[in-house]
Amino acid sequence: MTTRILTGITTTGTPHLGNYAGAIRPAIVASRSPEADSFYFLADYHALIKCDDPARIQRSRLEIAATWLALGLDVNKATFYRQSDIPEIPELCWLLTCVAGKGLLNRAHAYKASVDKNVEQGEDPDAGVTMGLFSYPVLMAADILMFNAHKVPVGRDQIQHVEMARDIGQRFNHLFGAGKELFTLPEAVIEEEVATLPGLDGRKMSKSYDNTIPLFGTAKQLKDAIARIVTDSKLPGEPKDADGSHLFTLYQAFASQAQQAEFRAELEGGLAWGEAKNRLYQLLEGELGEARERYNALIAKPADLEDILLAGAAKARKIATPFLGELREAVGLRSFREQVQVAGSEKKKAAKSARIVSFRDDDGSFRFRLLDAAGEQLLLSKAFTDGKGAGQASKALQSGAELDVRVEGLAFSVWLADEAIGASPAFADAAALDAAIVRLHEALAPQE
Ligand code: TRP
């Protein structure tokens, strides 16, 4: 069984080395595994919560898209898209907003931090807090649940959000799933080894500390940034404490075991800091030099990037559109057509409450059930690999064409074009079987 891995990147900044080591690189490696079905997206709706500078949003989306592609993300294998190209996401966000507890969201770290700060400063607790900030975790839950992700690689600061997505998904399942898991409950995954990279000053590398090393700056920018890495004042020849030095930690994140051991020995043997910085520069240039060229080529052709992202969105929506249809159905946002058509004779009344319920199976396949007026299952479809196949089969069944029903023992199956597309449960006796077949015909009878 494949594992669906999903993660989003907020498009407010330019990716730096910390993003690369902590998120981008492991994500790209993971996406290559044959068992992985990866969904990576630009969280540009989330970006609007944090940033009201349109030029910066636009620039950041472009840079982040180019970064992932330059670093080798294979868009034929992974699904790579912009959140804002998937209208199903904000729609799902609303469905989830209607079940998410306000108390749950009150506990979100980001919101609480803003409130605490306001209180400390004697301001109104909600001063400057937008509904976007408050509802941030619900939008994130929609991102995740929309695609039934199993694993969500994130930084530590996002674990709580993934847990909230679980909570909200679980509540929705409970309220609307009728015993069935509509949503897969996601799990956060943290890359333990290099989850956070230290910045120039030794604190976590982060734009807000202004201590980052650029990922695709020029070679000179890379060199200058490395020159600013803070070290202790040990002189050349004095032994250095490798483990106590974040320069070494940075080196470790990109070096093989053998390179690490060698660098450690050299530092302990008194290598000068200036020389140590040069080693780090060589290492990073080796890791990033080629990708930087690809990056510059991509940035120079934004229209090509646009096409790639739109193709990614189309791929994502093949899943999102039918799934949102099921969810709308589940909460009661259903077409009037069925009911209007069946208002009429007694027989049609019987058909009225017979219904088809689509769902996704644990293995990700698409199925539907046909339930009779009393809610008894008449038919369980076979497993379809996509929602479209399931949709076509259920449509064909309801088309009013003559049914090909084949009885076997105390059960029946329904055939379409030489293929059994669904089967009944086993009935207690022949009379029950016959009665069920009558109800099957009633349920699927053509309606004027
Ligand atoms: N909030 C995440 C961050 O700031 C970005 C994000 C948005 C995300 N939607 C997501 C991450 C869904 C994982 C899954 O890092």
Angle between helices 131-146 and 302-331 (to 10 degrees): 90
Confidence of residue 347 (pLDDT cuts 50, 70, 90): very low
What superfamily would CATH give domain 216-298? Tyrosyl-Transfer RNA Synthetase (1.10.240.10)
Listed by start position, the domains of the chain span 3-192+301-328, 216-298, 355-444
Contact 28, 19 (CB under 8 A): no
Residues pairing with 381 in the sheet? 422
Distance 11 CA to ligand 1 centre (A): 10
d(CA 176, CA 327): 8
Rounded to two decimals, the pTM is 0.74
pLDDT cut 70: percent of the chain above it: 95
Please indicate whether residue 152, judged by its CB atom, sits closer than 6 Å to ligand 1: yes
Return the structure tokens found at 162: 């993934």
Please indicate whether residue 67, judged by its CB atom, sits closer than 6 Å to ligand 1: no
Tens of pLDDT, residue by residue over 164-193, are 999 999 999 999 998 889 999 999 998 766
d(CA 142, CA 100): 11
Do 216-298 and 355-444 come out as alike in CATH topology? no
d(CA 324, CA 343): 27
Mean of the pLDDT values across residues 255-280?
96
Please indicate whether residue 8, judged by its CB atom, sits closer than 6 Å to ligand 1: yes
Which residue's C-alpha comes closest to atom 4 of ligand 1? 10
Distance 352 CA to ligand 1 centre (A): 43
Please indicate whether residue 153, judged by its CB atom, sits closer than 6 Å to ligand 1: no
Mean of the pLDDT values across residues 297-313?
97
Confidence of residue 194 (pLDDT cuts 50, 70, 90): low
Mean of the pLDDT values across residues 259-281?
96
In 245-299, which residue ranges form alpha helices assigned H by DSSP? Answer: 246-252, 257-268, 273-299
Backbone angles phi, psi at 230, to 5 degrees: -80, 130
pLDDT cut 90: percent of the chain above it: 77
Tens of pLDDT, residue by residue over 8-34, are 999 999 999 999 988 899 899 999 999
Distance 8 CA to ligand 1 centre (A): 4
Please indicate whether residue 83, judged by its CB atom, sits closer than 6 Å to ligand 1: no
Distance 7 CA to ligand 1 centre (A): 6
Distance 15 CA to ligand 1 centre (A): 15
Task: Name the maximum alpha-carbon separation found in the chain.
Answer: 98
Backbone angles phi, psi at 367, to 5 degrees: -140, 170
> Is residue 223 pLDDT above 90, yes or no?
yes
Question: If you classify domain 355-444 with CATH, what class do you get?
Answer: mainly beta
Mean of the pLDDT values across residues 246-265?
95
pLDDT mean across residues, the chain: 92
What superfamily would CATH give domain 3-192+301-328? HUPs (3.40.50.620)
Dihedral angle computed from the Cα positions of residues 5, 213, 61 and 144, in that order, rounded to the nearest 10 degrees: 20
Which residue's C-alpha comes closest to atom 14 of ligand 1? 7
Contacts of 203 (CB under 8 A, 6+ apart): 209, 211
Please indicate whether residue 46, judged by its CB atom, sits closer than 6 Å to ligand 1: yes
Which residue's C-alpha comes closest to atom 10 of ligand 1? 8
> Is residue 1 pLDDT above 90, yes or no?
no
Please indicate whether residue 144, judged by its CB atom, sits closer than 6 Å to ligand 1: yes
Which ligand 1 atom sits nearest the alpha carbon of residue 139?
9
Please indicate whether residue 247, judged by its CB atom, sits closer than 6 Å to ligand 1: no
Distance 252 CA to ligand 1 centre (A): 26
Looking at residue 349, what is its pLDDT? 43
